[in-house]
Structure 1
């Protein structure tokens, strides 16, 4: 009996040894920076000099800064414009790529995923050319055929938001499509065959079979897309540059600019904490809405 217990302990130690690198790396690069941010939010620090305790002064500063509220508004607007369409389009594309009517499906699956693995620098160059402010820019050139004046895509308020949203959509729609496709492949094909025999249209198949059976996957994608939208940073930075004007600045870009442009790590940490609680609140609302929808369906 004692020998059996010793073997179990030895096996457990071996298992813990093999999974320990993940927890060590997470503690160093994930948990510690997060806890240190909570600590740093109450101090004034430029990264080099001694820390000075300032209490709630950092929070008072960001809450009195109009650009901070502009960053929150931009985050929600760009997140909604870039995230909601990609979920809808992702389901439709996944349905098409899962259909036996499409030839060379594997080729299209690879092509739809390419934007996700494309270098963000290349993405910035491409979108810089497409949405150039010059009259010879691709989009402005097309608009000129309809008698529309050239638009300053990286200066004007709504053009900046629309351009960044399109960039987000283009980069992430393929990723969500593959996630939806993986979920669809677990749906029995017999359901679609029976629906076709009963005369169901493609839209009826999507609405009555695909979406109900895909609900866990949709919930996962909505959660991850929402959190990703609230943490949007790369696209505004590569499109607007280090200046990150208020037309397109997001919350993560705001705290990055405070930390690495103005060397105000205290206010940046305070902004990060506010973002942390916003993400928790939005995620909680998503969970409540999902549970309420489940309860409503069960009641029926």
Structure 2
């Protein structure tokens, strides 16, 4: 049998390439990655068209004076300068902060209490969870119309107050009545959602910690503040940040509750229901000042970023004070078992 001689220097058939070198990618190898790339491409295409492009275009638009139809006129930072001198804008900022405080703080507290009660051994817990989540998936436009009839001068809220001997409240005509009515709608919508978020965090806490608190004779309030809250900081941080972002973007409640066909009258009497996003919508889509609305949107983005950082620093805390009550409870429990 004839022996086939290989050319000098040619690598053997089973010889691997030297370390640090890779074989060139063949067209067939590149085609092997094509199906998964095509499978995920719709997301990136949609994000580029409906996410990235509007964001980048809004940055460009904030430096332009444009009514949406005619030619754009470059004005530089004048839009932001006009915004700083706009008294209605600063009034909307104050209204947004007041409504956010009246709604977010009570809402997070009620959500935590509801989650703590659901975490206990109660009957029909599943039905309660569904009931608490229903407001979040209900059309806010429809529910705002319902709340508008409830808070009317002769509505259900004032009828209930008069039934117990109290005077009626101008829910839709007075300064704090307007802010309170909008805050109540926000609480109604988001308290159940955040309660389920807190409930998921509670279920991740080891049962030994609750047993240690029970052995030490801790009541429900002590268990909540000494055992639950220190370990729920990541969940509380998530809920606080998302509630801050949602609270500073209030729009539907005020827009439907105080809708008007006249330019400049949006927000109810005295514009006490005027929020930042509602004012942005009025300037951009009613008065056709799209550049001014884009500048307002980026100022709102900066405000939300600042408040997010503040929430992070206040809620997250340091690693040294994450679980002060738990450590003591577990040490005391171990000491008792040792005895």
Task: State the TM-score, normalizing by the size of structure 2.
Answer: 0.80
Give how far 1:283 is off.
Answer: 1.6
Partner of 1:92: 113
Pick from 81, 87, 90 the counterpart of residue 102 of structure 2: 81
Give how far 1:190 is off.
Answer: 2.8
- Once the two structures are superposed, the pairs formed by residues 46-195 of structure 1 within 5 Å of their partners are 46-100=67-121, 102-134=122-154, 137-145=155-163, 147-195=165-213
Partner of 2:237: 219
Number of corresponding residues:
297
Partner of 1:235: 253
Superposed CA deviations along residues 200-253 of structure 1, whole A, max 9, x for unmatched, are 211111112211121111111111111111111111112111422421111111
Partner of 2:51: 30
Partner of 2:267: 244
For residues 63 and 236 of structure 1, what CA distance do their matches in structure 2 show? 23
Partner of 1:271: 296
| Structure 2: stretches of 5+ with no match in the other structure | 1-21, 261-265, 326-339
Partner of 1:288: 313
For residues 138 and 160 of structure 1, what CA distance do their matches in structure 2 show? 16
For residues 289 and 102 of structure 2, what CA distance do their matches in structure 1 show? 31
Quickly say closer, same or farther: Cα 1:9–1:89, change in 2 above 3 A.
Answer: farther
Give how far 1:41 is off.
Answer: 1.0
289-298 vs 237-246, greater mean Cα deviation: 289-298
1:112 touches 1:174 (CA, 8 Å); kept in 2? yes
Give how far 1:149 is off.
Answer: 3.7
For residues 58 and 141 of structure 1, what CA distance do their matches in structure 2 show? 47
1:155 touches 1:247 (CA, 8 Å); kept in 2? no
For residues 283 and 247 of structure 2, what CA distance do their matches in structure 1 show? 20
For residues 16 and 130 of structure 1, what CA distance do their matches in structure 2 show? 53
Secondary structure at the aligned position of 2:217 is classed as: coil
For residues 306 and 128 of structure 2, what CA distance do their matches in structure 1 show? 38
| Structure 1: stretches of 5+ with no match in the other structure | none
Superposed CA deviations along residues 232-278 of structure 1, whole A, max 9, x for unmatched, are 11111121114224211111111111111111111111111111111
Higher relative contact order (CA 8 A, sep 6+): 1
For residues 287 and 316 of structure 2, what CA distance do their matches in structure 1 show? 43
Quickly say closer, same or farther: Cα 1:280–1:120, change in 2 above 3 A.
Answer: same
For residues 151 and 40 of structure 1, what CA distance do their matches in structure 2 show? 43
For residues 36 and 47 of structure 1, what CA distance do their matches in structure 2 show? 13
Superposed CA deviations along residues 111-169 of structure 1, whole A, max 9, x for unmatched, are 111111111132112211211123xx111112224554433322221110010001000
Give how far 1:59 is off.
Answer: 1.9
For residues 144 and 38 of structure 1, what CA distance do their matches in structure 2 show? 52
Secondary structure at the aligned position of 2:201 is classed as: helix
Hey, which of these two has a bigger chunk of helix by percent? 1
For residues 120 and 99 of structure 2, what CA distance do their matches in structure 1 show? 32
For residues 323 and 201 of structure 2, what CA distance do their matches in structure 1 show? 23
Quickly say closer, same or farther: Cα 1:257–1:193, change in 2 above 3 A.
Answer: same
For residues 49 and 95 of structure 1, what CA distance do their matches in structure 2 show? 57
Secondary structure at the aligned position of 1:184 is classed as: helix
